[in-house]
């Protein structure tokens, strides 16, 4: 795999930071390429070297976080739900500004649905409707239920500005998952 130039990474990080800062100040639709250029201290042309437009920038930012969460899921595959949830909530806490924007305020309207789709896919292998307490339940319905509940709790945590530490959130979410899956 080719090594990416540090200047490119630095520019992309500055642009990602700029879009988050600007979304804290105004609606995404009102953000211009010039706003991004000024905030990130790069030329408009530099932005277009990396992204087609502001929507592409936001999409890549969302995709970066979804990919990071996917890697956390892989790392947590052999862990119990509480320990795995701790990895998740720590990541959410460390990236609070992004997730709070996306889930609790003026965030991109499509983020929640992408986040939900991602979780449905991740929980698909955990849903077992062939035995135990979930015997006979519809697999898709069960996956939708679990993923929606998880998104709802995480959304609540951000909307209420982290009313419990991420460790408590992880313990509670993990326990709920263990009871239902």
Nearest to 158 by CA among 75, 79, 118, 102: 102
Q: Is 174 exposed, middle or buried (0-12, 13-18, 19+ CB in 10 A)?
A: buried
Position 141 confidence tier, pLDDT thresholds 50, 70, 90: very high
What burial letters (b/e) apply to 112-144, b meaning 16+ CB within 10 Å?
Answer: eebbbebbbebbeeebebeeeebeeeeeeebbb
Position 107 confidence tier, pLDDT thresholds 50, 70, 90: low
pLDDT of residue 73: 93
pLDDT of residue 108: 60
Domains and CATH numbers, the chain: 1-51 (1.10.10.60), 62-180 (1.10.357)
pLDDT of residue 133: 84
What burial letters (b/e) apply to 22-54, b meaning 16+ CB within 10 Å?
Answer: bbeeeebeebeeebbbebbebeeebbeeebeeb
pTM over 0.75: yes
SS3 135: coil
């Amino acid at each position: 795999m080719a090594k990416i130039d540090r200047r490119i990474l630095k520019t992309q990080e500055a642009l990602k930071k700029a879009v988050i800062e600007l979304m804290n100040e105004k609606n995404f639709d009102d953000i211009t390429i010039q706003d991004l250029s000024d905030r990130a201290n790069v030329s408009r042309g530099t932005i277009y070297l990396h992204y087609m437009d502001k929507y592409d920038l936001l999409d890549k930012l969302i995709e970066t976080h979804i990919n990071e969460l996917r890697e956390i899921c892989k790392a947590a595959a052999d862990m119990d739900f509480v320990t795995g949830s701790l990895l998740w909530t720590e990541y959410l806490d460390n990236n609070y500004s992004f997730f709070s924007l996306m889930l609790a305020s003026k965030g991109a309207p499509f983020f929640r649905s992408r986040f939900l789709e991602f979780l449905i896919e991740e929980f698909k292998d955990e849903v077992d409707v062939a035995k135990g307490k979930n015997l006979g339940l519809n697999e898709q319905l069960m996956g939708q239920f679990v993923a929606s509940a998880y998104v709802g709790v995480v959304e609540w945590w951000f909307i209420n500005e982290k009313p419990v530490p991420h460790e408590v959130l992880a313990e509670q979410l993990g326990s709920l998952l263990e009871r239902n899956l």
